[in-house]
């Protein structure tokens, strides 16, 4: 397990595997390792005990919207930017053409593991294109990525997911990313993402996340990006059609003990936007 964003992908996967009745990720356990579990437990102790539940709620929100999209747009495609060790293509009842985007070393290890899991029939075959990008904070990388995505998507409707991605990027990079998205997606397509609001930065738990990212993940001078609500409401070419935060999502499920203390929850809002 490499330090940095790769380590974060392992930790978040451990969270999903811990409460599959909430996350609905029945394959997350296939990616769990002892070092990752150890780091995930350390994360919960040093950042916040509700973080595992919060990440499960986030995953469920996006999975349910993806399933709805696939029912309505049977020829649509799914793109997961910053896919980590998620299993979305395998959690859809019928196969969906998918593209996963991530760092080269993470993609390599995931492909090797998928081959073994498919050979042992623990994962079914899926049509997945893997694209590698070294740094989405580089404009040249963004252009190269979206040139490839545009060619692959063509005129098809798409569901593009950016889960746990935007707070790793600078605001300039986020703006560039959305500009490319606007030019890539066809009308009626969906864009799903999560982000911290600026108000979250005043919480002690947010500062603990920063500290853990530096010491636990080895990311120096980490300052998570935040996006105001008006950013999504005024996004050129898109209409905000759904929004939820972890506290609200926890109230909707009987399986979850309701998250009530805002100061003890590192809240991200989950957004769903339609291309117009």
Task: Report pLDDT for 220.
Answer: 85
Task: Report pLDDT for 258.
Answer: 79
The CB density around residue 129, as the number of other CB atoms within 10 Å, is 14
pLDDT tens, residue by residue, 209-229 = 999 999 999 998 888 999 998
Task: Report pLDDT for 55.
Answer: 97
Would the pLDDT of 93 be above 70?
yes
Segment 109-121 mean pLDDT: 95
Task: Report pLDDT for 244.
Answer: 96
How far is residue 135's CA from residue 18's CA, in Å, rounded to a whole number? Answer: 30
* Residue 264 lies in domain: 5-275
Task: Report pLDDT for 5.
Answer: 82
pTM over 0.85: yes
Would the pLDDT of 129 be above 90?
yes
Q: How many domains does the chain have?
A: 1
Q: Indicate which CATH number applies to the domain containing 190.
A: 3.40.50.150
How far is residue 243's CA from residue 8's CA, in Å, rounded to a whole number? Answer: 24
Average model confidence (pLDDT) for the chain?
Answer: 95
Task: Report pLDDT for 161.
Answer: 99
The encoded tokens of residue 274 equal: 């339609």
pLDDT tens, residue by residue, 138-185 = 988 999 999 999 999 999 999 999 999 999 999 999 999 999 999 999
- Quick one: what percent of the chain has pLDDT higher than 70? 99
DSSP the chain: --STHHHHHHHHHHHHHHTHHHH--TTGGGG--HHHHHHHHHHHHHT-TTHHHHHHHHHHHHHHHHHHHHHH-TT-EEEEET-TT--GGGGSSS---EEEEE-HHHHHHHHHHHHHHHHTTSS----EEEEE-S-TTSHHHHHHHHHHHHHHHTTS-EEEEETT-GGGS-HHHHHHHHHHHHHHSPTT-EEEEEEB-GGGGGSHHHHHHHHHHHHTS--TT----B--HHHHHT-TTEEEEEEEEHHHHHTT-TTSPPP--GGGS---EEEEEEE-
Task: Report pLDDT for 3.
Answer: 63
Higher-pLDDT residue of 254 and 151 is 151
Would the pLDDT of 192 be above 80?
yes
Work out the pLDDT band at 2, boundaries 50, 70, 90. Answer: low
Segment 111-133 mean pLDDT: 95
Q: Where is average pLDDT lowest: 48-52, 54-58, 204-208, 221-225?
A: 221-225
């Amino acid at each position: 397990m490499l330090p940095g964003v790769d380590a974060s992908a392992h930790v978040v996967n451990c969270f999903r595997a811990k409460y599959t009745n909430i996350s609905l990720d029945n394959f997350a356990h296939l990616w769990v390792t002892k070092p990752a579990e150890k780091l995930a437990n350390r994360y919960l102790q040093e950042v916040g005990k509700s973080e595992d539940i919060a990440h499960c709620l986030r995953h469920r929100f996006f999975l349910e919207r993806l399933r709805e999209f696939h029912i309505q747009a049977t020829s649509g495609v799914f793109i997961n930017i910053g896919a980590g060790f998620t299993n979305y293509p395998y959690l859809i009842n019928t196969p969906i053409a998918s593209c996963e985007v991530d760092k080269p070393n993470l993609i390599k290890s995931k492909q090797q593991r998928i081959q073994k899991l498919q050979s042992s029939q623990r994962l079914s075959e899926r049509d997945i294109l893997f694209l590698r990008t070294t740094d989405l904070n580089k404009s040249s990388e963004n252009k190269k990525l979206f040139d490839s995505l545009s060619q692959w998507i063509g005129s098809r409707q798409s569901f593009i997911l950016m889960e746990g991605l935007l707070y790793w990027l600078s605001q300039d990079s986020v703006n560039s990313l959305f500009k490319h998205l606007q030019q890539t997606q066809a009308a009626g397509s969906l864009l799903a993402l999560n982000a911290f609001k600026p108000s979250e930065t005043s919480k002690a738990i947010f500062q603990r996340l920063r500290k853990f990212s530096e010491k636990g993940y080895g990311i120096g001078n980490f300052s998570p990006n935040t996006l105001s609500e008006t950013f999504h409401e005024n996004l050129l070419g898109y209409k905000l059609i759904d929004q939820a935060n972890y506290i609200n999502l926890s109230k909707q499920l009987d399986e979850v003990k309701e998250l009530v203390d805002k100061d003890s929850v590192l809240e991200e809002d989950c957004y769903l936007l339609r291309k117009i």
